[in-house]
Structure 1
Amino acid sequence: MAISDLQFPAGVVTHGFERAQHLASALAERVAAALREAIAENGQATLVVSGGRSPIAFFQALAMQALPWSKVLVSLADERWVPVSHEDSNEALVRRHLLQGPAAEARLLGLYHSAGSLEQAAELTEQALRELPPIDVLVLGMGTDGHTASLFPGSPNLPQALQADCPRRCLPMLAPSVPHQRLTLTLPVLKAARLQILAIEGQSKLVVLEQALQQRDPHHMPISAFIGAPLNIYWCP
């Protein structure tokens, strides 16, 4: 099965590649072009990315793009509630693989805050996100359970996070199958992004995407909340 075999709603654009490196390079070029366009229009650009291992090649390719990086603000769609020094920190991943060389001039707005509880940390992040301008480019990933960002099926705060009029920009979330508690941007913040991209690899992810297309219930498969215009999907086997 290939990405072209799936039937998506009108306005969803798919891009298939033979190899992960080809996907990373094409994605980096597309994101860089959108950031340049935003800078030309507004004098600045905002990029929000996801963590995990999958985007590392994309981060490294994007860091090599010729951009006025000092005019770019980078933030995260979600974060594990661990210190930046922790090996599972998404912020650390971005610093290590994206904010290198000329790209180190970009400003990073992290989500992690030390606090007495996850809820208190989320409230601190909520305050910090007042500095987050409208998102020009959003790059999401997807788990085999249909989660994206840290919008996990079964998490107590998921219904609130998925509300189109959710007043919060950040909510604490619980991941059912991994040890770390999470912080996530909420649906209205993410869905307001000018360019929305989902980058996935492997046949198993295509199967999940097909299930999300069939169910179209974001409470069971949160990724389905994003499957519609103007989503761009980048995939390779």
Structure 2
Amino acid sequence: MLRWHSFTDGAHLEHAALNMIQDAAQTALTQRGAFHIVLAGGRTPQRVYGALKDLTTDWSAWHIYFGDERCLPPDNTERNSLMAADAWLDHLAIPPAHVHVIPAELGGEAAARAYSQTLAGVDAFDLVLLGLGEDGHTASLFPGQDWGETQTAPAALAVSNAPKPPPHRVSLSAQRLSNARQVVFLITGTAKIPAVTAWQKGDPLPAAAIKPAAGVDVLVDFAV
């Protein structure tokens, strides 16, 4: 089930995303005492993360994961983990042990194995944030590649031939991203309209492989 939320501009979309994160966190902390969130990369999430610094919550009960990562050194500015740290995580009292960075500097295969082990004891994520590429990719799951949709797929996949640089990456599999209480896509820019249209038509895109039981909320800053 896809629930489409259309906004007049990116600022309104980001405000709605912030509210969704806040609500999901409050529900998880009240019901389960911890909040497990998967972060997306990109400029739109970066602005949302920056706004999260002002949120009043029990940061010690947050657990941070990443939907994908580029196989680059930890201090490379293209790393999703560094972006999230600079925009948000380094400014708050989240225990370092609760920030589960993908060790992509080890190389795709080794990092995917290590992250699958990290996630082995984690139940359903409370919230997964994702973006959408112009080709319909999400996280680092690209068209024409293995998305890890089966129940036996590993939690994390090594990607060795991504069509956009760098080619070597690690991505959570579609089945692991789908194991979530809530999934929210943040999509900005009219260049994404063809991919959204293809998704709406039912084309076999990587984004369409994310199928949590509760359905998916898709936030866009254009009419759908």
Q: After TM superposition, is the score higher than 0.5?
A: yes
Query: CA distance change for structure 1 residues 103 and 59 in 2, over 3 Å: closer, same or farther?
Result: farther
Task: Give the Cα–Cα distance (whole angstroms) in 1 for the partners of residues 168 and 24 of structure 2.
Answer: 32
Counterpart contact for 1:21–1:57, Cα < 8 Å: no
Is the partner of 1:145 in helix, strand or coil?
coil
Identity of aligned residues (%): 26
Aligned counterpart, 2:207: 223
Query: Which of residues 166, 172, 176 is equivalent to 1:189?
Result: 176
Counterpart contact for 1:45–1:73, Cα < 8 Å: yes
Alignment of 1:18-167 (within 5 A): 18-102=8-92, 104-105=94-95, 107-115=98-106, 117-155=107-145, 158=146, 161-163=148-150, 165-167=151-153
AA paired with 1:230?
G
Counterpart contact for 2:71–2:166, Cα < 8 Å: no
Aligned counterpart, 1:232: 217
| 1:95 CA drift (Å) | 0.7
Task: Give the Cα–Cα distance (whole angstroms) in 2 for the partners of residues 82 and 93 of structure 1.
Answer: 13
Runs of 4+ in 1 over 6 A off after TM superposition: none
AA paired with 1:30?
M
Counterpart contact for 2:66–2:101, Cα < 8 Å: yes
Aligned counterpart, 1:170: 156
Counterpart contact for 2:70–2:166, Cα < 8 Å: no
AA paired with 1:137?
L
Counterpart contact for 2:3–2:217, Cα < 8 Å: yes
- C-alpha RMSD of the superposition: 2.0
1:6-47 CA-to-partner distances (Å, cap 9, x unmatched) read xxxxx4222222221221122111111111101100110100
Counterpart contact for 1:49–1:77, Cα < 8 Å: yes
Is the partner of 1:54 in helix, strand or coil?
helix
AA paired with 1:40?
T
Task: Give the Cα–Cα distance (whole angstroms) in 1 for the partners of residues 69 and 122 of structure 2.
Answer: 16
Is the partner of 2:132 in helix, strand or coil?
coil
Structure 2 unaligned regions, length at least 5: none
Structure 1 unaligned regions, length at least 5: 1-10
Task: Give the Cα–Cα distance (whole angstroms) in 1 for the partners of residues 196 and 86 of structure 2.
Answer: 30
Number of aligned residues: 219
Task: Give the Cα–Cα distance (whole angstroms) in 2 for the partners of residues 167 and 226 of structure 1.
Answer: 13
Q: Which stretch has the larger CA shift, 102-111 or 75-84?
A: 102-111
Task: Give the Cα–Cα distance (whole angstroms) in 1 for the partners of residues 109 and 92 of structure 2.
Answer: 36
Counterpart contact for 1:154–1:176, Cα < 8 Å: no
Q: Which stretch has the larger CA shift, 16-25 or 102-111?
A: 102-111
| 1:215 CA drift (Å) | 4.2
